[in-house]
A and B are shown apart, each in its own frame.
Chain A
Amino acid sequence: MRAQDLSLRDQAAAIAAGDVDPNELLDATLTRIEERNPALNAIVETFPERSREMLAAAPDGPLHGVPVVIKDEWPLPWRAQRFGAAELFLATAAEESGPYRALRDAGAVIVGVGNMHELGMGTTGNISVYGPARNPWDTDRCPGGSSSGPAASTAARLVAGAVGADGLGSIRVPAAYCGLTGLKPTFARSTMEGHHLEAVTTVAVSGPLCADAADCRLLASVLFGEKLAAGDAAGLRIGVVRESVSEDVDPETREACEAAIDSLRAETGGAVHEVPLPDIEAATIAGVLIINTENLHGATPERVNNLHPDISPLNRGITKYRMLVPAVALVQAERLRAMMRRRLAALFEQVDVIAWPTVPAPAPPLDSPVVDLPSGMLAADQANVRSAALANLTGTPAISVPVGYSADGLPLALQLQAAWGRDELLLDAAEALERANERRWVESRPRLAEVEPTEA
């Protein structure tokens, strides 16, 4: 197996043991990006000299010499973030950011910037100033968003791990669509320093997208600035909610998730409990309103009137519409947030995690991002945020774990959500689920990323 095909942790271990030369790994990674990225548009910029400088100066850290991708959402010392867009309301500049510093101090080597959905305003990845990223499992399908590039680059094994951000499912949805594990950390537990919305966001967090939970644990430890201990999730109490998030779901997704919940229960010696959680639909619009107004930070009528001509017509219209969100609805959204946080706090006294599909249907076509659900055809964005918004609204951690494939060969995924600060438990549960299915889903790769044999 080539070094690029090793897991994030195995790359780090092999470099530390002297079995892999990090300079050779960097060169091989850049070569692979050149070979595979044109079909994916996952990485929008590489900077080999900067990467080599990072490697030359890399300290002995947990990711010493390991190549990673970072989403186009944070500045780097040599590049300002573009947020997948032609223009932002706030001026940005090339500078250090929290995720950059965390990666640098861990010894990691940033090899590229990952594509993303324009302005972070979508869960499909089909709109970007760089053009859409493509799903490695089917390049005519959406990779998910807004962390489209981090997901596609990791699923295609351009790198073994990437840093994304999640404000309304933006790590979990692309992880689900691309067959990865993606962690949306507890609010404020991972670094957001240097993000242009850091001062105003109450929903967005940075987080890892990797092939499996152990790699997510490693990368999350770097982003958290603390080592996340591993446990076994023994006796896991799993809450199942009989609401639209688990009922209005395509049959293959539902079947795979129900099987996964059952196998997780068996693996951990735990139990499944049906728990009430009303008002999820209201929580969804509350989360949507909050992020849509927070993302207007810096917007003035003059700036809105002079949006860059290369901002997509869709986001131009939506941006203007957002300027009219009724203040009373925002007050109501905050009241609902308080109510849902109390409900979740009470619920997490009864169960350790709650589980429902990360997305209600597998990745839709890039040219028609709609999904077919029991309730009818629905825009994928609308369907996906229903499953994702609660964790962002309340601040709780959530993880997406691959649990199977559709008849079309597209990944299916289960979401687990836990109480505040119990990110480690989610990783433990994800690893238990991997054990339960003999790592079948986390070891699978899209055809274009099949393991290349080393040369004789």
Chain B
Amino acid sequence: MEGANVPDEFVPAGLSAIGIEVDEVDVAVMAATHEVFWPAILELLSLDMADVEPELCPDLSRAP
């Protein structure tokens, strides 16, 4: 199963697991959303940032 390509299955199943109901319109919207979001999420996850120091409680109004 190609996980990234089966929003019809895993998205409704995931939502069902947390008690959220979906209808066929939701599924169609989520499939289109998934097509946009998921490749970018996978790309973000693939970035190796192990060496990046986290910024704990950053003050976003100032430079780090």
Contacts and interface: CB of A to CB of B under 8 A. Distances in A.
Interface in A276-307: 279, 281-282, 284-286, 288-289, 301-302, 304-305
A445 interface: no
A426 to B, nearest CB: 15
Interface string A11-44: 0000000000000000000000000000000000
A188 B58 CA distance: 12
A34 B41 CA distance: 46
B20 interface: yes
B54 A317 contact: no
Interface string B1-33: 000000000010011001111100111111001
Contacts of B63: 341, 344-345, 348, 419-420
Interface stretch (A59-67, A79-87, A254-262, A321-329): A321-329
Nearest to B21: A305
Contacts of B52: 335-336, 338-339
Contact of A281 (B19, B33, B40, B55): B40
Interface string B24-64: 01111110011011001101110101001111001011111
Nearest to B64: A341
A313 B24 CA distance: 11
Interface residues of A, number: 50
B45 to A, nearest CB: 6
Contacts of A333: 44
A188 B49 contact: no
A318 interface: yes
A314 interface: yes
A318 B29 contact: yes
Given A187-B61, A321-B33, A329-B44, A336 B49 contact: yes
A285 B60 CA distance: 18
Contacts of A420: 61-63
A50 interface: no
Given A334-B54, A341-B55, A317 B45 contact: no
Contacts of A301: 18-20
A329 B45 contact: yes
B60 A394 contact: yes
Interface in A324-371: 324-326, 328-329, 332-339, 341-342, 344-345, 348
Name, among A284, A339, A345, the residue most crowded by chain B CB atoms within 10 Å (CB to CB): A339
Contacts of A318: 29-30, 33
B25 A338 contact: no
Given A333-B44, A335-B49, A421-B62, A317 B29 contact: yes
Interface string A391-416: 00011000000000000000000000
A332 B34 contact: no
A317 B25 contact: yes
Contacts of B25: 313, 316-317
A382 B19 contact: no
Nearest to B50: A335
A421 B26 contact: no
A296 B21 CA distance: 17
A394 B62 CA distance: 9
A192 to B, nearest CB: 12
The CB with the most chain A CB atoms within 10 A, among B15, B22, B25, B63, is that of: B63
A237 interface: no
A233 B8 CA distance: 54
A282 B40 CA distance: 7
A282 B43 contact: yes
A202 interface: yes
Contacts of B30: 317-318, 320-321
A285 B36 CA distance: 10
A327 to B, nearest CB: 11
A420 B62 CA distance: 5
Contacts of B27: 317
Nearest to B26: A317
B60 A395 contact: yes
12 contacts: A282-B44, A289-B41, A301-B19, A317-B26, A321-B29, A321-B33, A324-B14, A324-B15, A334-B54, A335-B52, A338-B58, A395-B60
Interface of B: 11, 14-15, 18-22, 25-30, 33-34, 36-37, 40-41, 43-45, 47, 49, 52-55, 58, 60-64
Given A329-B44, A341-B55, 17 more contacts: A188-B61, A189-B61, A279-B47, A282-B40, A305-B19, A314-B29, A317-B29, A326-B45, A332-B49, A333-B44, A336-B52, A338-B53, A341-B64, A344-B63, A379-B36, A382-B36, A395-B62
Closest 6 CB pairs of A and B: A317-B29, A395-B60, A338-B55, A285-B40, A301-B19, A187-B60
